[in-house]
Chain A
Amino acid sequence: MGYGGRISSQKKRHVLFAVLGFFFAGLVPAAAQKPLAIYVLDFDTNISGENRAVAARLTTSIETAFSQLHSDFKVLERRRLKEIIHQYKMERDLSLLSRGDRPSPEFIRHFSQADGVLRGELNEDHLGGVVLTLSLTRLDSEKLWQSQKTHTLYEWLNGELRTKDAMELASSAAASINVPLKATPHIAEDAVRGTSLAEQGHCQEAMPFLQNAAAVDSKNTEVFYQMGRCQNQAGDYEAAVDSLRSAIETNPRRPDLFVERAISFSALKDFQTALRDLDQALKIDSGNLIAIELRGDVFMERRLFAEAVNAYYEVYRQQATRSRCAKLAAAYLKNGARDASALLERICGSLP
């Protein structure tokens, strides 16, 4: 029997949590003194049409934000529960559980590494707002934390705002679950301090901490990512490529890593490889506007103006800013569409 019977998917999920809770109630160790291991499930949404993709982007932003709080959370994977059940062929186990029977040892092994799940729902309300409800639940169904945020759909489409909100929500969740910090080793402190400084734009100060942390923890994606960013900012593109390669090796599912490395390759005039990285970023997150815009920049460098117009057109259409307007106008002009260029130039200055 497949996982897709007669009850609604939401009910199914509740049933599953309840059964998992019942089953694991005695097995899950207390999360104190160690990060909370969580699954981030793809967010549900009632948004229809092409804007529906905002839920996936928001999931990525939230996942990234929670991943960055290493001492509080360990993000296991972001999947639809249905997919996990399907992939590991657990339909039978689910059925057994539903009947109150014992599932297979594989099933127990698979879920026993998790302490809880992070779920989100992004729903349009009747007032034109879009409400994100984010909740962190233990596998025994105990709600650890819940928060809501409301924006307009177009604010949710804004990548920067999304990232900022995600960071705030992750911090709020971390504070709320009150996971006691482990006796933090010196190196872990370096990682936290280095990434924090880098995120605030203090790259010069951040680099020594990041390098210390990277030297002993070759699996810390965020440390290598921030190193790469800082090296890009300093114009040390070859070193940035190396750092970002390490970051990608530890987590090949983060589009921002590929985008950052594309910046390095582009600066090194290796446009082909830059485009390959951008394609990869877009394969992971097809709506990544930064990747699309950067493709436009690379096309401009390669004098492929029609392709540049297409890229800039797309990002401008999704999120109009002054700089994107100016880039699109320049690409139009280079591509021979003077009127279009002049038309846009007329309004670029009025955009934020």
Chain B
Amino acid sequence: MMHNRRGLLLLPFLSGILFAAEPFQLRIPDLSQAWFPSNAVVRVPGNKATRLEVRLNKEAASEVQMETLTLAMDGQYPRFIRASNSEGYVLTVTTKEPLGLLVNEEQRVEASARGRHVYQGDWTILRWDKPYVQSTLVGPLNNPISIRIAQPPGGIVLAGGPSALVRFSGEIPGNCDYRLTIAGQDVRRQAGKPGFHFDAQVPVEPEMQEVAVSAKDETGAMTVLYLRVLRQSGQ
């Protein structure tokens, strides 16, 4: 029986746990440490990506054989390694090609596994000119949320000192009813300005390599930017 859990999970009332509940998630470690839920449109900078990981969560992994896990990129089946760990199954694709894995402007990654149910995940990966990664999930109304970052300039976070306060400002075009979090901290819209403008000082801890700027609405649409933190050391 074909059972696509994504359909169920996109129900608005479950939107709050959407990311956590997606059985498949994708990561591109050269570009971000974040896991992107299936169905996401992921915009990435033009940096070389030599590794791609797809994981199936523990709950779903308990219902399928690891050997049934497959992965396709633009309809091709690259060489991958399957492994299991405490969090479920992980598929890893690596390349030594000079241009890396993401050679096209747009790429589609699909993963599937079979057992008692069929699990599927897919992602659209687009290149863009920004220096950070953006993951977008649309809600049932097909409404992507966009976040415009004014500060830090270019979306690169410079955080001097052990626990620096960094200014984040920008705008979420559309209505005012978003929930915005920056580095896990709730940020409210600026009173006195139309729409959803934000301007907040948020602490960036020394161990943070990127700062997640996440906006979601009540329909389940969600967009997350993963802004790189650039330290004096260059890391």
Contact = CB atoms under 8 A, between A and B. Distances in A.
B230 A344 contact: yes
B219 interface: no
A313 B158 contact: yes
Interface stretch (B70-78, B96-104, B137-145, B149-157): B149-157
Interface size class of B (residues with CB under 8 A): 20 to 34
B165 interface: yes
Contacts of B190: 128
A127 B129 CA distance: 34
Interface string B110-147: 00000000000000000001010000000000000000
Interface string B186-199: 00001010000001
A132 B158 CA distance: 29
Contact of A346 (B45, B167, B232, B234): B45
B234 A317 contact: no
A346 B156 CA distance: 10
Interface size class of A (residues with CB under 8 A): 20 to 34
Interface of A: 49-50, 127-128, 154, 309-310, 313-314, 316-317, 320, 325, 332, 335-337, 339-344, 346-347, 350-351
Given A313-B160, A347-B131, A340 B154 contact: no
B2 to A, nearest CB: 43
A219 B148 CA distance: 53
Contact of A313 (B153, B154, B232): B232
B228 interface: yes
Contacts of B199: 128
Contacts of B153: 320, 325, 347, 350-351
Scoring A49, A341, A350 by chain B CB atoms within 10 A of each residue's CB, the highest score goes to A350
B85 interface: no
Contact of B234 (A49, A154, A316, A336): A336
A337 B234 contact: yes
A128 B158 contact: no
Given A339-B234, A346-B131, 19 more contacts: A50-B165, A128-B199, A309-B232, A310-B232, A313-B158, A313-B160, A325-B153, A332-B234, A340-B234, A340-B235, A343-B131, A343-B156, A344-B230, A346-B45, A347-B153, A347-B155, A350-B154, A351-B153, A351-B154
A335 B154 CA distance: 22
B230 A343 contact: yes
A346 B154 contact: yes
A339 to B, nearest CB: 7
Interface string B4-37: 0000000000000000000000000000000000
A187 B17 CA distance: 78
B233 interface: yes
Given A343-B131, A347-B155, A127 B234 contact: no
Contacts of B167: 154
A280 B103 CA distance: 53
B165 A316 contact: no
Contacts of B233: 337
A127 B155 contact: no
Nearest to B164: A317
15 contacts: A49-B165, A128-B199, A309-B234, A313-B158, A313-B232, A317-B158, A325-B154, A335-B234, A337-B234, A339-B234, A342-B47, A343-B230, A347-B131, A347-B153, A350-B154
